[in-house]
Homo-oligomer: A and B are copies of this chain.
Amino acid sequence: MTDGPVLDLHADLADLLQSLIDVPSESREEQALADAVERALSAYPHLVLTRVGHTIVARTDLGRAERVVIGGHLDTVPANHNLPSERRDVDGEDRVYGLGACDMKGGVAVALQLAATLAEPTRDVTWVFYEAEEIDSQFNGLRILAESHPDLLAGDFAVLMEPSNAVVEAGCQGTMRAEVRTTGTRSHSARSWMGHNAIHDAGDVLRRLAAYEPRQVEIDGLVYREGLNAVGISGGVAGNVIPDECVVAVNYRFAPTRSSAEAEAHVREVFAGYDVAVIDTVDGALPGLAHPAAAAFVAAVGGAPSPKFGWTDVARFTALGVPAVNFGPGDPSIAHSQGEHCPVGDLATVARGLRAWLTA
């Protein structure tokens, strides 16, 4: 390990968050931050460290009856004139601004401090700080770890510290991308009757989308709202040519009771008669709130859980048979924005909730 930035895991959480932001770590550029995390955690003898690529796993090994996994990613989207970090009071709220403040170095700050300071948690904890969540899943550190070292992710319950406004967001919906294609015949637009206009044909595809009524599915008392939407459309050859192809890119978000295969069948049924190509699909994750470990977690951190509509890495835990929820500081709706920030109050709320659960 090379020399590099030093992280003080006992610092005030806002200061620790600023230190984390100020070690740039865009996806595929996480080494400096991963090195700093590994170096900082290696000072604590109650943690057993494992490193895979730029993913750091730190485990307690106290022989507790339960083991829980608490994870967060180290990488950020590309900088957007939002470095270095800044602490500012805005609208009466104490906030840390900067790249990754919300997504998700706030959660990482809390996790690192708890990992360092909870030497004897009442549940064994596997802390996971992983690389490359913001880019193509082939690089995702959690995915890689799940395949190469599934034992390191084994547990009774998992918490992913993605921003969730410091309330529990349970499960996540699945998501599918597909392309619906219409085809026609080119001709010069001055003689349009010689051709067949593929863009005109796409009108019916859009009509079906506009008329579509998405389901609302209740699971464990949470209502998951589905959605089927065009997210892109393209067609056209030149300003004087009748187009022979039009492609509607659709995105289907589906409740976690529906499998990818069922989702695909449903989308094909909606667009019956059209050429439908599925680009990719990922299963959602059931909220699993009925699981005793989940119930204990919700009771300890307090508040009413919400359903998670977006897809997150909690689904990877679900795929491993580990019930999982999202719980972290920051507002997910400002993730990836230039002005992303984390309320200092959220850091304290989330830290208090996790500490209560891990010391109960």
The residues of A with any CB-CB pair to B shorter than 8 Å are 173, 175, 177, 188-193, 197, 199-207, 209-210, 214, 225, 227, 229-243, 246, 248-249, 251, 253, 309-311, 333
Question: A210: which B residues are within 8 A, CB to CB?
Answer: 197, 200-201, 203
Q: Is the CB of B227 within 8 A of A231?
A: no
> Contact: B236 with A190, CB < 8 Å?
no
Kindly list chain B residues whose C-beta atoms are within 8 Å of the C-beta of A232.
Answer: 199, 235-236, 239, 243
Residues of B within 8 A of A236 (CB): 230-234, 249
Instruction: Flag if A229 contacts B197 (CB, 8 Å).
Output: yes
How would you classify the secondary structure of chain A's contact residues: helix, strand, loop or mixed? mixed
A335 (CB) vs chain B CBs: closest residue: B188
CA distance A210 to B246 in the complex (A): 14
Q: Are B231 and A240 in contact (CB under 8 A)?
A: yes
CA of A225 to CA of B190 in the docked complex: distance in angstroms?
9
How far is it, in angstroms, between the C-alpha of A204 and the C-alpha of B205 when the chains are bound? 11
Contacts of A205 in B (CB 8 A): 203
Contact A203 B209 (CB under 8 A): yes
Contacts A191-B309, A309-B191 known; A251 to B239 CB distance under 8 Å?
Answer: yes
A225 is contacted by which of B193, B234, B333 (Cβ under 8 Å)?
B193
Which residues of chain B come closer than 8 Å to A238, judged between CB atoms? 231
Quickly give the copy total for this chain.
2
Q: Which A-B residue pairs are the 6 nearest by beta carbons?
A: A232-B236, A203-B206, A192-B227, A190-B310, A199-B230, A200-B210
Q: Is the pair B243, A199 in contact by a Cβ cutoff of 8 Å?
A: no
Contacting residues, chain B, for A197 (C-beta < 8 A): 209-210, 229-230
Check A203/B192 contact, CB under 8 A, given A231-B243, A251-B240: no
Q: Is the CB of B239 within 8 A of A231?
A: yes
Q: From residue A95, how far is it (CB to closest CB) to chain B in Å? A: 22
Contact, CB under 8 Å: A231 / B189: yes
User: Closest chain B residue to A234 by CB distance?
Assistant: B234
- Shortest distance from the beta carbon of A350 to any chain B beta carbon, whole Å: 22
Contacts of A243 in B (CB 8 A): 230-232
With contact pairs A190-B175, A251-B189 given, residues A231 and B225 touching in the complex (Cβ less than 8 Å): no
Residue of A177, A190, A235, A253 with most partner-chain B CB within 10 A: A190
Chain B residues with Cβ under 8 A from A191's Cβ?
Answer: 225, 227, 309-310
- The 8 Å CB contact of A246, one of B190, B233, B241, B242, is B233
Contact call B239/A199, Cβ cutoff below 8 A:
no
Provide the bound-state CA to CA distance between A249 and B237, in Å. 11
> Which residue, A199, A205, A214, A249, has most C-beta atoms of chain B within 10 A?
A199
Complex CA distance for A235 and B214, rounded to whole angstroms: 22
Report the separation of the CA atoms of residues A210 and B175 in the bound assembly, to the nearest whole angstrom: 32
Contacting residues, chain B, for A234 (C-beta < 8 A): 233-234, 236
Residue of B nearest to A229 (CB): B192
Taken together as a complex, chains A and B put the C-alpha atoms of A238 and B251 apart, in Å, by 10
